[in-house]
Structure 1
Amino acid sequence: MSQKSLAEISTPVRHFTIQLSATRRGARLARLLAERQLDEWGEAYDAAAQVVAELASNAVLHGRVQGRDFRLALKLHADRTLRIEVTDARGDRIPRLPGPVADDAEGGRGLRIVDAYADRWGLTRAPAGAKTLWAELGTRDPGVTGEGPDHGLS
């Protein structure tokens, strides 16, 4: 068996990108469109819809700037790693994984859900003062615990 080059592994073989309004409706639409796109690609990532929902919700709740949209991108790589990216307009608001959350707490669960489902996740700065939260799924057996996420939140 030949060894795959880094370009083969890192270059997406399928991709989907869409701009959506930074509203609750836009966040719901992000999840529905992600589910539809993955189904069209013949991929079954049960956790992907939940991760998209959480990242899109965070973009709407914490990354919204009046008159600016958020962007959803899905990238399926040759090794079947799915990368989900949500870019919002508030690069000045850097999310942090919260400490322990009480059962009745209203907030702070979104990134915990992403952390639970994703093999890796993190943040990168985007142009024009924006930021992209990303998550990768499918790089490990769901029952196996890896070395922990690479949050990149520095």
Structure 2
Amino acid sequence: MDPCCFDTTPTRVGWDGSALDPLRPVAEARCRARVWVRERWQLPELVDSVELAVGELCANAVRHGGGLAGLELVLGRGGRRFAPPSLRVVVVDREPGRVPRLPLSSDPLGESGRGLWLVEAVSRRWGWHRAGCGEKSVWCTFAV
């Protein structure tokens, strides 16, 4: 392989929750994700949707998940035949027993209850799993 053609762009970046501003973790997580997706990966078509999803998932982690433990962005290059390029957002919180669910209905004038609906609307898929050690991961993917 020609060394000149080797792409050294990182395909995974993450932040521990303690590395984020403790007074504004959601705003800082959104900002970091926006800068990384726009400037490092140069995916301007995904910036707004990824920032929205990061904001909603991080806000849920802070409000319902016992605190934001971490944020990770993973860029899948689609190098395999059946794996299309994608970007995955993973938010880790400290409440593995609290299962994220889409609410059956929400108050149209309310200030909460629509976050996961927004994530579902802007992403290709979303889900969650227990991450062990008293944590759970909530994730969503975007087609690149």
Task: Mark yes or no: TM-score above 0.5.
Answer: yes
Match of residue 90 from structure 1: 95
Partner-residue secondary structure (3-state), 2:24: helix
Two-structure CA RMSD over aligned residues (Å): 1.7
Q: 2:107–2:113: 8 Å Cα contact kept in structure 1?
A: no
Q: Runs in 1 of length 4+ with deviation above 3 angstroms?
A: 21-24
TM (norm. structure 2) is 0.79
Identical-residue share of aligned pairs (%):
34
Correspondence 1:71 to 2:70? yes
Residue identity matched to 1:70: A
Distance 2:121 2:105 in 1: 14
Distance 1:123 1:117 in 2: 17
Correspondence 1:121 to 2:116? no
Match of residue 41 from structure 2: 41
TM (norm. structure 1) is 0.74
Shift of residue 20, structure 1, vs aligned partner: 2.0
Q: 1:24–1:60: 8 Å Cα contact kept in structure 2?
A: no
Correspondence 1:99 to 2:104? yes
Match of residue 26 from structure 1: 25
Match of residue 143 from structure 1: none
Partner-residue secondary structure (3-state), 1:94: coil
Corresponding residue pairs, total: 124
Shift of residue 105, structure 1, vs aligned partner: 2.1
Distance 2:96 2:107 in 1: 28
Distance 1:48 1:76 in 2: 12
Shift of residue 104, structure 1, vs aligned partner: 1.2
